[in-house]
């Protein structure tokens, strides 16, 4: 499975760790940056990862900032992206099962490396259940489509 990973400065250190875990687990990984702890803007990296996932270049995306919230907000602006902010294993599994999330966001200032590793592992290995969740995802897609032409 191909995974695209990105962070801002706040998520840089955890992103470097996550990249190593992914490679150790046998995933193919592309890193879009940030490449240091110099201050950058998280939407730039959310855009890179989310659009690459939306284009189908990667099966999954991982985004890390200080809280995970900014990355989640930005990534979810991209049509076809279902980004899930997860800081616990239960949520990581549930969002794969129910939401078929294709981007995971985490906050490096919220959780430590140990929990982040477990969350990432759980999120990558859990399958989407389909069934009763499928019409709900269709409604999300319909909402995206409507918002292209409609103002609230």
Reported as half-sphere exposure (CB side, CA atoms, 13 A), residue 7 has a value of: 24
Rounded distance, CA 99 to CA 93, Å? 10
Q: Whose CA is closest to 116, among 104, 126, 128, 125?
A: 104
**Interface residues for ligand RB5 in 3-32 (CB under 6 A)?**
8, 10
86 noted as active-site residue: no
User: What residue number has its CB nearest to ligand RB5?
Assistant: 70
Among 4, 9, 65, 86, the active-site one is: 65
111 contacts 119 by C-beta, under 8 angstroms? yes
CB 92: neighbour CB atoms within 10 A?
A: 24
Q: Please state the separation of Cα 56 from the chain's center in Å.
A: 14
Residues of this chain, 27-86, that bind ligand RB5 according to CB under 6 A = 42, 65-67, 69-70
Active site residue 98: yes
* 3-class secondary-structure state, position 5: strand
Residue 45 or 123 having the CB closest to ligand RB5? 45
Min dist CB 11 to ligand RB5, Å, is 6
User: Residue count at the site for ligand RB5 (CB under 6 A)?
Assistant: 8
Q: Which of 122, 61, 35 is nearest to 87 (CA)?
A: 122
Site string for ligand RB5, 75-114 (x = CB under 6 A): ----------------------------------------
What residues are annotated to the active site?
65, 98
Provide the binding-site residues for ligand RB5, judged by CB under 6 A: 8, 10, 42, 65-67, 69-70
């Amino acid at each position: 499975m191909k995974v695209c990973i990105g962070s801002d400065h706040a998520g840089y250190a955890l992103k470097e760790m996550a990249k190593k875990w992914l490679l150790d687990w046998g995933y193919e990984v592309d890193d879009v940056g940030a490449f240091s702890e110099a201050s950058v803007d998280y939407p730039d990296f959310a855009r890179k990862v989310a659009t690459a996932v939306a284009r189908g270049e990667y099966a999954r995306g991982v985004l890390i900032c200080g809280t995970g919230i900014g990355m989640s907000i930005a990534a979810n602006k991209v049509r076809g992206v279902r980004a899930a902010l997860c800081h616990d294993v239960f949520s990581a599994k549930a969002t794969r099962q129910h939401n078929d999330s294709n981007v995971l966001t985490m906050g490096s200032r919220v959780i430590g490396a140990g929990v982040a590793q477990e969350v990432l592992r759980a999120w990558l290995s859990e399958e989407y259940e389909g069934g009763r969740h499928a019409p709900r995802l269709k409604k999300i897609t319909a909402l995206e489509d409507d918002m292209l032409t409609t103002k609230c």
